[in-house]
């Protein structure tokens, strides 16, 4: 969430920057500033009214003490009117604050200066590519056919138990999945991240804190009776661990990692491009989250990108990195790099990770601050990345490592799963 003071200070700059997102902020910024002026003037009137009422209450006590009952009763009538006035002002203030907050919730983050303008994913900028695309033998299969052939993932059984998008991993498929999770976590902890086991449901405050609410409410599974939400990513509970915290400079950097299942309704997602593991309602992911001071956050983002590069290099999967354009940038992000692995059998790129710097956007919602060297309270910068999301990594491994005699297992995973081939 943007800060009103920053909107007032950088209004024209922000309007120009948000045009990269194809978002016209002119009118909404005027509404924000008008509501903020109303809020401040109402607060000032309320403070004056309460001060006058308190002063009169003290005078009334003295007058009664001195036997001046008539004057005391006259002042009591005035304080009654002031109390009624303060009640009305308080209600107006609360309504104005709520209107201002709800309006701010609709404004996306300001994109970083390096974000290219663009309308959609077609305008994203490729910034890096590594790995040779393997040449597969004639008759090579996509992963959903391989899963059936080797009986390692059962999509029909998942559909029977729950519905489409909830696969059942079996035998060597389940063991390979577990191996990936453990290896990703080990690599993260080796890099200095502290591992957490996290709740799979969060409350509404947590959803608002990291920006999933109200922006992506329709994409989240809502447990209505308890007003809880199944997490779309570990980022939500992990970042919310620090909600309402006041930190100091010596606390930084904060590095967290965790594995969770993730749940996404993915409403409106249909067609061949979402077949098999390409898009699921439930999937596994290892997440990395960092809290940084503003001056260090972009160096930290580069470090996170390098960490994910290292994972893919060790898995020997061909991949590329895209800098997302304004039209494809997530609502809360200032800058995002997407990692995509090449699926040789499908002959297309599959997104497997997003690494983002949110700058102060989430921290402002979270009320997450720190004291700087001058003892001023400043907002923290938050960052997160998938390291990695498993379904499409697994799809890439199955498809790119397939041979006429089975599917090879990436060398780094063999000690974790206990076999070197699926056949």
Residue 135's contacts (CB-CB under 8 Å, 6 or more residues apart) are: none
Closest CA to 152 of 142, 137, 167: 167
User: Is 353 known to sit in a ligand binding site?
Assistant: yes
User: Is 384 known to sit in a ligand binding site?
Assistant: yes
Q: Which residue has tokens 């993932």?
A: 153
User: Is 53 known to sit in a ligand binding site?
Assistant: no
Tokens of 211: 């920006």
* Euclidean distance between CA atoms 303 and 385, whole angstroms: 11
User: Is 79 known to sit in a ligand binding site?
Assistant: no
* Euclidean distance between CA atoms 24 and 326, whole angstroms: 13
DSSP 8-state code for residue 119: S
Please report, for residues 6, 284, 309, the alpha-carbon distance to residue 256 in angstroms, rounded to integers and kept in the order given.
29, 17, 18
* Euclidean distance between CA atoms 358 and 333, whole angstroms: 5
Tokens of 58: 């003290």
C-beta separation of 187 from 176 below 8 A = no
User: Is 354 known to sit in a ligand binding site?
Assistant: yes
Residue 115's contacts (CB-CB under 8 Å, 6 or more residues apart) are: 20, 323, 324, 325, 326, 329, 334, 335
User: Is 264 known to sit in a ligand binding site?
Assistant: yes
Alpha helices in 279-410, H assignment, sequence order: 297-315, 361-366, 390-400
Residue 184's contacts (CB-CB under 8 Å, 6 or more residues apart) are: 259, 286, 311, 387, 388
- Binding-site positions for L-serine read 233, 264, 287, 384
- Binding-site positions read 233, 264-266, 287, 351-354, 384
- Binding-site positions for ATP read 264-266, 351-354
């Amino acid at each position: 969430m943007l800060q009103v003071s920053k909107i007032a200070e950088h209004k024209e700059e922000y309007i120009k920057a948000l045009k990269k997102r194809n978002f016209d902020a002119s009118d909404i910024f005027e509404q924000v500033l008008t509501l903020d002026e109303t809020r401040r003037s109402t607060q000032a009137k309320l403070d004056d009214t309460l001060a006058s009422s308190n002063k009169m209450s003290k005078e009334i006590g003295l007058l009664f003490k001195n036997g001046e009952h008539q004057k005391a009763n006259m002042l009591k009538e005035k304080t009654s009117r002031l109390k009624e006035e303060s009640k009305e002002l308080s209600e107006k203030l609360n309504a104005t604050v709520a209107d201002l907050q709800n309006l701010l919730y609709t404004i996306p983050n300001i994109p970083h200066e390096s974000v290219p303008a663009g309308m959609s994913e077609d305008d994203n900028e490729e910034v890096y590519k590594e790995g040779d695309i393997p040449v597969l033998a004639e008759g090579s299969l996509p992963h959903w056919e391989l899963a059936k052939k080797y009986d390692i993932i059962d999509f029909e059984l998942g559909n029977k138990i729950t519905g489409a998008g909830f696969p059942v991993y079996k035998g060597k498929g389940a063991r390979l999945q577990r191996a990936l999770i453990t290896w990703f976590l080990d690599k993260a902890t080796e890099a200095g991240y502290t591992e957490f086991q996290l709740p799979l449901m969060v409350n509404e405050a947590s959803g608002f804190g990291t920006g999933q609410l109200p922006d992506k409410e329709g994409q989240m599974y809502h447990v209505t009776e308890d007003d809880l939400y199944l997490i779309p990513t570990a980022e939500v509970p992990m970042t919310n661990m620090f909600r309402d915290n006041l930190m100091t400079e010596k606390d930084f950097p904060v590095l967290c990692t965790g594995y969770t299942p993730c749940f996404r309704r993915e409403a409106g997602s249909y067609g061949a491009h979402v077949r098999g593991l390409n898009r699921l309602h439930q999937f596994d992911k290892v997440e990395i989250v960092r809290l940084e001071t503003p001056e260090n956050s972009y160096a930290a983002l580069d470090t996170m990108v390098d960490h994910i590069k290292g994972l893919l290099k060790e898995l020997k999967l061909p991949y590329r990195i895209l800098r997302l354009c304004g039209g494809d940038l997530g609502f809360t992000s200032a800058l995002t790099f997407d990692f995509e692995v090449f699926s040789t059998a499908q002959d297309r790129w599959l997104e497997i990770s997003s690494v983002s710097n949110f700058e102060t956007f989430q921290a402002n919602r979270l009320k997450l601050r720190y004291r700087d060297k001058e003892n001023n309270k400043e907002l923290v910068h938050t960052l997160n990345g998938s390291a990695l999301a498993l379904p499409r990594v697994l799809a890439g491994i199955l498809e790119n490592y397939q041979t006429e005699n089975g599917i090879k297992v990436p060398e780094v995973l063999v000690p974790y799963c206990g076999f070197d081939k699926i056949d």
